[in-house]
């Protein structure tokens, strides 16, 4: 549960919470944040559609979704259930500057369990901040990438436990089990997701040079509606996805035919790939095999507007988690999930311990001469989005805006004698 610790100080004016006011002195942080999914979290049309369905579901608290997607609006009583988000001031939507920077810490492992103090004191990692007229400053371990508390705060919002008890989304739990949790390879959420560079924390006279942190926080999701800096966000996501996996493709002889073996290793993500809302992602392998000019192998080959789950291929390799409803269907509504099977590629659990996984496709009676593979990803599956259009909760244009990313490092072409491999280098 969220513990709202409202301070005794006089309540600041609501305008004080507007992230736009921070831009005057923190232009870089503002611009990066503005294009991020944190800023977009309560404007995402898929969120609005699924929230409406969740609120109508018996046994689901009405504020279940907004406590993470619009925590400021909820805390200030501007919304109870997110159904009126259209009329909530933009400055209170999403995960804003003054939400993160007034966090004191985490009060539980999931579902937005954080303590938030509305006292106008901006917490951060600086222990010698310059005084300024806009706000007071304080050191806060919850906002210090180097302190363990900081990952717990990210984790409280990034792990989702459904009212039924199902731990559906678990980026924190996955990170906690990985080699990045402690020791020599320790990397907090912030180390990877807020990379630092030299710069000034505030663009004001006398501000010293420090290390500042990128607030773009690209992941997987993109804005499906017009949004600031949308192209830049997409480029950042592509850049991240292009480096996340290490892939090796081998083609070997097998009983008079051929066998394609693809080995994938998660080398960059500090948790599973994919993580978090993995159950709504669609991540699959496309494999095409040729003998001469004849195509003799096709798996995961989908059209631009085709849902990958419509393929019904026995040899289709899917890497996202599979959440199912009580009636055994694929879950399309988050809160209707009763079980989940994990298929994501894990982060290393111990240094040097192999954690790659191999997948294979047999082609009996054919000697393959060329093979093309790539891992592809849609942030949210078309099988989930199409029914929302039919229900009038999403527009066809919003579905068309859903991209399909190809993971650059996994796009491999093999053309050789059987028994040889390509890729595999880092
Ligand atoms: C009039 C200029 C000004 C405005 C407006 C302003 N700040 Fe600041 N802020 C500063 C200065 C100056 C510092 C200290 C920089 C330094 O020491 O290098 C600072 C520091 C910070 C820090 C670091 C605190 C720490 O102790 O690590 C955070 C976080 C922060 N501001 C957030 C915000 C947010 C959020 C807003 C908008 C609600 C905002 N600021 C508006 C001037 C401003
Ligand atoms: C108030 C809860 C909350 C806190 C605290 C929070 N996040 Fe988020 N985060 C969200 C929500 C909600 C989204 C947006 C969901 C969406 O994609 O629409 C998000 C999106 C993201 C994304 C982009 C995911 C994607 O697939 O596009 C990254 C990366 C991320 N957060 C990292 C962090 C890190 C690192 C921290 C800690 C410094 C953090 N978050 C703290 C709620 C939170
Ligand atoms: C070692 C670096 C590293 C660490 C540590 C790390 N991440 Fe990530 N994270 C990545 C990379 C790389 C991606 C992009 C690939 C992917 O989607 O998994 C990513 C993606 C994400 C996404 C989008 C995932 C998806 O598939 O929807 C979220 C959300 C996220 N991280 C949250 C977190 C949180 C929360 C923590 C801390 C508990 C954390 N990350 C720790 C590197 C890291
Ligand atoms: C998801 C949480 C989150 C949100 C939202 C967020 N920040 Fe930050 N911010 C951080 C973290 C974490 C750090 C500190 C990293 C460190 O130094 O270890 C930070 C650092 C800062 C700093 C210190 C300078 C720097 O770049 O390290 C300033 C100033 C700042 N943020 C301003 C803002 C402003 C302005 C906004 C909104 C436009 C904002 N932040 C939104 C988490 C957040
Ligand atoms: C514990 C905080 C939390 C709660 C509760 C929560 N979300 Fe999210 N949501 C997130 C975070 C964090 C992400 C980004 C995860 C990622 O990138 O993997 C996200 C991503 C999303 C996305 C974009 C990706 C996708 O899965 O389609 C949608 C839509 C969404 N949430 C809807 C909802 C709805 C509807 C509810 C209520 C039933 C809800 N969320 C409850 C934190 C939360």
Structure confidence at residue 183 (pLDDT): 83
Nearest residue (by CA) to ligand 3, atom 41, is 189
| Per-position b or e across 63-77, b if 16+ CB within 10 A of its CB | bbbbbbbbbbbbbee
User: Is the pLDDT confidence value at 55 over 50?
Assistant: yes
Q: Is 215 in the pocket of ligand 4 (CB under 6 A)?
A: yes
Structure confidence at residue 123 (pLDDT): 96
Widest pairwise Cα distance in the chain: 80
106-121 pLDDT, tens per residue? 999 999 999 999 899 9
User: Is the pLDDT confidence value at 88 over 50?
Assistant: yes
Calculate mean pLDDT across residues 401-410.
98
Instruction: State percent of the chain over pLDDT 90.
Output: 92
User: Is the pLDDT confidence value at 2 over 50?
Assistant: no
CA angle (196 as vertex; 190, 202 as ends), nearest 5: 105
Q: Is 95 in the pocket of ligand 2 (CB under 6 A)?
A: yes
User: Is the pLDDT confidence value at 1 over 70?
Assistant: no
State the distance from the centre of ligand 5 to the C-alpha of 386, rounded, in angstroms.
19
Instruction: Compute the distance between CA of residue 297 and CA of residue 260 in angstroms, rounded to an integer.
Output: 10
Q: Are 26 and 134 in contact (CB under 8 A)?
A: no
Structure confidence at residue 16 (pLDDT): 62
Tokens of 350: 């111990």
State the distance from the centre of ligand 3 to the C-alpha of 130, rounded, in angstroms.
32
Instruction: Compute the distance between CA of residue 251 and CA of residue 259 in angstroms, rounded to an integer.
Output: 6
Give the ligand 1 atom nearest the CA of 124. Answer: 27
Q: Are 262 and 424 in contact (CB under 8 A)?
A: no
Q: Are 399 and 382 in contact (CB under 8 A)?
A: yes
* Average of per-residue pLDDT values in the chain: 94
User: Is the pLDDT confidence value at 187 over 50?
Assistant: yes
Confidence of residue 186 (pLDDT cuts 50, 70, 90): very high
User: Is the pLDDT confidence value at 303 over 80?
Assistant: yes
Q: Is 202 in the pocket of ligand 1 (CB under 6 A)?
A: yes
**169, 394, 403, best to mutate for ligand 5 pocket (most atoms within 8 Å of CB):** 169
User: Is the pLDDT confidence value at 11 over 80?
Assistant: no
Q: Is the C-alpha dihedral spanning 75, 38, 267, 379 positive or negative?
A: positive
Q: Are 260 and 425 in contact (CB under 8 A)?
A: no
User: Is the pLDDT confidence value at 426 over 70?
Assistant: no
State residue 332 phi and psi, 5-degree precision.
Answer: -120, 10
220-270 pLDDT, tens per residue? 999 999 999 999 999 999 999 999 999 999 999 999 999 999 999 999 999
Hey, how many other C-beta atoms are within 10 angstroms of the C-beta on 276? 23
Q: Are 262 and 252 in contact (CB under 8 A)?
A: no
Which numbered ligand comes closest to the C-alpha of 18?
1
Instruction: Compute the distance between CA of residue 65 and CA of residue 52 in angstroms, rounded to an integer.
Output: 10
């Amino acid at each position: 549960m969220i513990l709202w610790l409202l301070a005794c100080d006089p309540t600041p004016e609501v305008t004080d919470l507007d992230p736009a006011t921070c831009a005057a002195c923190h232009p870089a942080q503002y611009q990066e944040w503005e294009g991020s999914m944190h800023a977009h979290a309560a404007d995402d049309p898929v969120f609005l559609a699924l929230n409406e369905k969740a609120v109508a579901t018996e046994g689901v608290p009405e504020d279940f979704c907004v406590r993470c997607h619009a925590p400021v609006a909820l805390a200030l009583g501007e919304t109870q259930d997110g159904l009126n988000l259209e009329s909530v001031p933009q400055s209170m939507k999403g995960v804003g500057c003054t939400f993160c920077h007034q966090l004191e810490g985490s009060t539980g492992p999931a579902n937005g369990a954080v303590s938030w103090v509305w006292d106008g004191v901006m917490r951060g990692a600086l222990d010698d901040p310059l005084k300024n007229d806009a706000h007071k400053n304080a050191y806060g371990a919850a906002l210090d990438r180097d302190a363990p508390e900081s990952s717990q705060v990210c984790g409280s919002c990034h792990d989702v436990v459904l009212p039924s008890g199902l731990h559906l989304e678990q980026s924190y739990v996955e990170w906690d089990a990985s080699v990045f949790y402690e020791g020599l390879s320790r990397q907090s959420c912030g180390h990877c997701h807020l990379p630092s560079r030299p710069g000034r924390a505030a663009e004001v006279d006398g501000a010293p040079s420090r290390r500042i942190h990128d607030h773009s926080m690209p992941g997987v999701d993109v804005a499906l509606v017009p949004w600031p800096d949308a192209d830049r966000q997409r480029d950042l996501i592509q850049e991240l996805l292009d480096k996340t996996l290490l892939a090796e493709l081998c083609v070997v002889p097998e009983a008079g035919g051929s066998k394609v073996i693809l080995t994938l290793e998660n080398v960059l993500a500090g948790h599973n790939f994919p993580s978090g809302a993995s159950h709504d992602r669609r991540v699959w392998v496309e494999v095409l095999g040729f003998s001469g000019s004849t195509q003799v192998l096709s798996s995961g080959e989908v059209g631009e507007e085709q849902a990958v789950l419509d393929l019904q291929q026995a040899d289709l390799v899917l890497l996202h988690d599979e959440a199912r409803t009580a009636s055994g269907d694929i879950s399309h509504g988050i809160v209707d999930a009763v079980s989940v099977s994990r298929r994501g590629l894990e982060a290393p659990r111990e240094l040097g311990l192999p954690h790659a996984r191999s997948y294979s496709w047999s082609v009996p009676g054919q000697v393959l001469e060329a093979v093309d593979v790539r891992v592809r990803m849609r942030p949210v599956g078309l099988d989930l989005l199409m029914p929302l259009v039919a229900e009038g909760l999403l527009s066809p244009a919003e579905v068309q805006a859903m991209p399909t990313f190809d993971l650059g490092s996994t796009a491999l072409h093999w053309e050789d004698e059987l028994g040889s491999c390509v890729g595999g280098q880092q």
